[in-house]
Amino acid sequence: MDQVPGIIRVVDPNEEQEDEALVALRALPKFEPLVVPDAPSHFSLTSVFGAFSATADSRGASTELAFNPSVLIDILVQINAHSKRCGQDIQEFQRSLGTKMRALDDFTAGAVQELTVIHQQAKTNSGELLSVHALSKQAQTTTTLLHGIVDKLNLISDALPAEAGVVGISESAYPHLYQYLQIRRQ
């Protein structure tokens, strides 16, 4: 049986079908969290405390703590490396977010286009349904008028000549009219 494409589709329950929009949505890259937990990166300050060394006074009794300046340079290098790594991670997350947003934008544009096509088909089918409805109403009105005419002819058939009345209608020539008159006489 050929079916004309329209708004309403008859789905055979024996065969399994899946909505095309869900298939397209499933094909998109998965939306993952923006920040992926990573191994914690932190600064080690143990080298700072290990950089202090006690020096003896000339008397030998009092000691001062001396700070090794290379430790400060090491900390600055660690901070610089850490900030570069954080910047690269942020850049990678932004790139991933951009890719996912483009994929989502493409999907929504396709969905909007599909909805526009469906809406246009609905408008077209609505016009066709209105014309079918008008034809149906016209057929009902015509049928009512014909029934009224036949009923009036049936009522006045006694006053009319035999060839002009409806009493002498043969069943073989007009089967539907004959059947209608038989029902109306009962």
Indicate the residue type of 37.
P
Alpha-carbon span 56 to 66, nearest angstrom: 10
| Average confidence score pLDDT of the chain | 73
pLDDT of residue 60: 57
Compute the C-alpha angle 166/141/157, nearest 5°.
15
Q: What is the pLDDT of residues 101-141, one digit of tens each?
A: 888 888 999 899 999 999 988 888 887 888 888 888 999 99
Average pLDDT (178-184) is: 76
